[in-house]
């Protein structure tokens, strides 16, 4: 597996992966209407261009040979210079590659990129009913709170906020 930084030219690859992964990942959690609403908002050309163009917001794509199999994004959310806090916004692996250490390798890669002190923290939101909660717990994340986020159109994200300090 090779992990590469993504840029604006990679938007079609990210969209293709999202549209293959999300229906499987969220079929038992979200209604079809909410799934389409979220995909349309989060993975539109305009939205991805904005996300990728933000300073301190990074996208990654993982490849098996030359085939894209996963993507992730994270950003620096530190409030002060003394803080070293990052947020994992996205981590998605094609269903056929799940359970093979791809997600863990991507998290390790991100920690290698962001760890500059012993106080590095990576936080994330994950749907409370998503099987990924157990994956994150296995690799050292802990639930720090729950939150319900109004995303419009009468839809909510019902999430755990999880964090992991330092390296994996």
- Residue 168: per-residue pLDDT: 41
Say if CB 104 and CB 71 are below 8 A apart: no
Q: Which residues lie closer than 8 Å to 167 by C-beta, 6 or more apart?
A: 108, 111, 112, 115, 120
- Residue 132: per-residue pLDDT: 94
**H-helix segments, the chain:** 11-25, 32-42, 45-53, 102-114, 132-138
Q: Which residues lie closer than 8 Å to 162 by C-beta, 6 or more apart?
A: 123, 124, 125, 126, 133, 136, 137, 141, 142, 143, 144
Could you report the per-residue pLDDT of 83-118, keeping only the tens digit for each?
Answer: 788 999 999 999 999 999 999 999 999 998 888 666
Per-residue pLDDT of the chain (168 residues; tens, 9 = 90+): 999 999 999 999 999 999 999 999 999 999 999 999 999 999 999 999 999 998 789 999 999 999 999 999 999 998 877 778 899 999 999 999 999 999 999 999 999 888 866 678 999 999 999 999 999 999 999 999 999 999 988 889 899 999 998 744
- The tokens describing 145, both together, are 């709170």
Which domains are delineated in the chain?
A: 2-165 (3.40.630.30)
Computed on alpha carbons and rounded to an integer, the radius of gyration of the chain in Å comes to: 15
Strand order in the sheet with 142-152: 2-5, 57-64, 67-76, 84-93, 120-127, 155-165, 142-152
Q: Which residues lie closer than 8 Å to 103 by C-beta, 6 or more apart?
A: 70, 91, 93, 132, 135
């Amino acid at each position: 597996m090779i992990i590469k930084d993504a840029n604006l030219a990679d938007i079609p690859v990210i969209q293709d992966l999202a549209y293959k992964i999300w229906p499987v990942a969220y079929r038992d959690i979200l209604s079809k209407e909410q799934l389409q609403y979220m995909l349309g908002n989060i993975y539109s050309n305009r939205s991805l261009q904005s996300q990728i163009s933000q300073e301190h917001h990074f996208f990654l794509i993982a490849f098996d040979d030359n085939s894209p199999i996963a993507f992730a994004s994270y950003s620096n959310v530190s409030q002060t210079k003394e803080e070293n806090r990052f947020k994992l916004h996205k981590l998605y692996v094609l269903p056929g590659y799940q359970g093979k250490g791809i997600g863990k390798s991507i998290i390790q890669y991100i920690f290698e990129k962001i760890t500059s002190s012993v106080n590095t923290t990576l936080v994330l939101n994950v749907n409370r009913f998503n099987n990924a909660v157990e994956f994150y717990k296995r690799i050292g994340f802990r639930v720090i709170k729950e939150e319900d986020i109004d995303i419009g159109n009468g839809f909510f994200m019902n999430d755990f906020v999880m964090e992991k300090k330092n390296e994996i």
